[in-house]
Structure 1
Amino acid sequence: MSGSSPAARLQQLFEGRRLTPTQRRIAHSMVRRAGDVPFLSSVELAELAGVSQPSVTRFAVALGFDGYPALRKHLREVAPAEPEPVGGDDAYNEYQQAVLGEIENLRHLAELLADPGPVERAGRLLAASRPLPVLGLRAASSQARGFGYFAAKVHPDVRVLDEGGSMLRDRIDAARRAGASALICFALPRHPKEVVDALAYAQEQGLAVVSVADSAFAPVAKHSDLLIPAAVGTGLAFDTACAPMLLGRVLLEAMCDGLPDAQARLEEFDATAAARGLFVE
């Protein structure tokens, strides 16, 4: 455990815990600020997570500690780190800080991908599913469409589910009847209840659910067979999703490894595109 990143060590601390929504919010905030957490008071952590100070205390007890001081002591012992200088971001304007925040999210993603096992497993599940449903609603719809656009170049049958409503379950049913064995979901805040319900239904129908979410504690976690987290940026009025987008491309790469004819399909597309003059060279 000592050789992993601070964020990874925190993730391990929370794994397997039955946390309330408020506790998941605290855990998510801790992972995002993993280097600072061992030096924060319970009041500071509460402000960071947007919860009450007693909620932080109850959270520490839920993790098996006598209180927050015991949790913080544990974190300092297992994840020693120097706190970032207070006010270190003062030299940057709000736009630069948003970019730096996304760079940090990408660093966390790189640390997570040091263990390629989950991504490789997800790639095999997605490659084997015929057809392959790709779910993403509201803020996540662009992620689903982007993934689906590229996946369709190498996968024989990709079905993007980016619209909710009463037809959503019908489309999941149709994919299952056609032979689908897995579904990939992009889930970003704010999380639509419809997505959570759709994943629960997909699992009931026998589909393996692979989720890309902003946190391992996102609401979709309980209905995901495999969830790989990629944080969103929160420094601007609207969240930014560089890390989830990049993770989607990583999953596409892993899926290609499970599709023996992927390269041939890409070459065929390039030849067709050239013959049709699709792109300006």
Structure 2
Amino acid sequence: MNKLIQPLPLSAEQLKDMLNKVIFSDESSPNNRKIAEYILVHYRSIAFMTASEIADKAGVSQPSVTRFVTNSLGFKGFSQFLKTVQDIIRNEVTGVERYHISGKTKSNLEILIGQEIENLNNLVEYTSEEKLLQIAARIANMKTVFIIGFRTGAPLANYFYFFLRKIHPDVRVCTSGGSDVYDMLHHMDRESTLILPFIFPRYPREMIDVIQYLKQEKFNFVTITDSYTLQAEGICECDIVTPIIITTFTTLFDSYTSSYCILNILLDMIGRTDLDRTKDMLSSVEEMYQRNRVFFRR
């Protein structure tokens, strides 16, 4: 298995600042200025280009581009630079733009499934088992867990809520947005409640406002997201990162397979934190299902 090259946690503004420093530095070579100027103007399109293609567009050699991203920008290599740019633009690309990009690539079953398998294999490089266990213990030991997710975060939040309530005595969820979430938070005890905000591209402004409110009101919360973008922007710590890893935008919409995988692992860890409680709660749920004939049986 190839080792995953992780993107650096940079925002678009931070990348632009780095490029501008190169452009206006007296110590920069003419070639470096050309490359920096081209990337600054075309950073959204270079996410899908090779080093040779960027070199051709900027009017320099391919080795010049490779040296530029390592020596001038501080990346470990061109691959890390490319993944960082892809990470930055994922939440900026609109559905229409994505349609045009995906139309340029061959999208078939074998390619897409192969990409999903690679993404799942690479999760090992992204995920700290020790950190997941610590978060699982926090969730298991809190009296109340409140899950929040809007837009793309909503189905993930609902999935986690659906299963967590089977093994935790007090789980609540809000996926509707609006003022309801603030009404629900207002009555929650800060000491005994853990908030789980789910925020995924294109990062709804409404969800960022909720996170700012959680910080202001000193709630305990664990953020679940897809990258370190929010951390780079100074919005919040990114506690659980379930990356949507891409090489090109081969489909119209992102796949959240890796996110569901990590959530399932986290649920298992929570359940194993207190096996007696988990066993009792699952047994009680199954008895209720049978009494009410919830499922079809032959």
TM-score higher than 0.5: yes
User: Do the aligned partners of residues 255 and 106 (structure 1) sit closer, same or farther apart at CA in structure 2, a change above 3 Å counting?
Assistant: same
1:128 aligns with 2:119: no
SS for the counterpart of 1:279 is coil
1:101 aligns with 2:102: no
Count of matched residue positions in the alignment of Structure 1 and Structure 2: 230
**Unaligned runs of at least 5 residues, structure 2:** 17-34, 55-66, 81-104
Displacement, 1:227? 1.8
Matched to 1:249, the amino acid is N
Matched to 1:75, the amino acid is K
TM-score (norm 2): 0.65
Distance in structure 2 (CA, Å) of the matches to 1:162 and 1:220: 25
Counterpart contact for 2:107–2:250, Cα < 8 Å: no
Aligned equivalent of 1:70: 71
Aligned equivalent of 2:169: 156
Displacement, 1:206? 2.3
SS for the counterpart of 1:138 is coil
Distance in structure 1 (CA, Å) of the matches to 2:222 and 2:132: 10
Displacement, 1:208? 2.3
The CA RMSD over aligned residues, in Å, is: 3.6
SS for the counterpart of 2:152 is helix
TM-score (norm 1): 0.68
Aligned equivalent of 1:119: 132
Displacement, 1:194? 0.9
Query: 1:1-281 to 2 correspondence within 5 Å?
Result: 5-7=3-5, 10=6, 14=8, 19-23=10-14, 46=43, 47-49=45-47, 67-70=68-71, 75=76, 93-113=107-127, 115-176=128-189, 180-218=192-230, 222-232=234-244, 234-260=249-275, 261-281=277-297
User: Do the aligned partners of residues 240 and 132 (structure 1) sit closer, same or farther apart at CA in structure 2, a change above 3 Å counting?
Assistant: same
User: Do the aligned partners of residues 185 and 244 (structure 1) sit closer, same or farther apart at CA in structure 2, a change above 3 Å counting?
Assistant: same
Displacement, 1:99? 2.5
SS for the counterpart of 2:223 is strand
Counterpart contact for 2:142–2:193, Cα < 8 Å: yes
Distance in structure 2 (CA, Å) of the matches to 1:24 and 1:150: 40
Matched to 1:257, the amino acid is R
Counterpart contact for 2:106–2:250, Cα < 8 Å: no
Aligned equivalent of 2:64: none
Cα offsets for 1:21-64 (capped at 9, x unmatched):
34579xxxxxxxxxxxxxxx98799434379x8xxxxxxxxxxx
Distance in structure 2 (CA, Å) of the matches to 1:280 and 1:162: 29
User: Do the aligned partners of residues 222 and 72 (structure 1) sit closer, same or farther apart at CA in structure 2, a change above 3 Å counting?
Assistant: closer
For the pair shown, which has the larger CA radius of gyration, 1 or 2? 2
Displacement, 1:220? 9.1
Distance in structure 2 (CA, Å) of the matches to 1:110 and 1:160: 29
State, as a whole percentage, how many aligned pairs show the same letter: 20
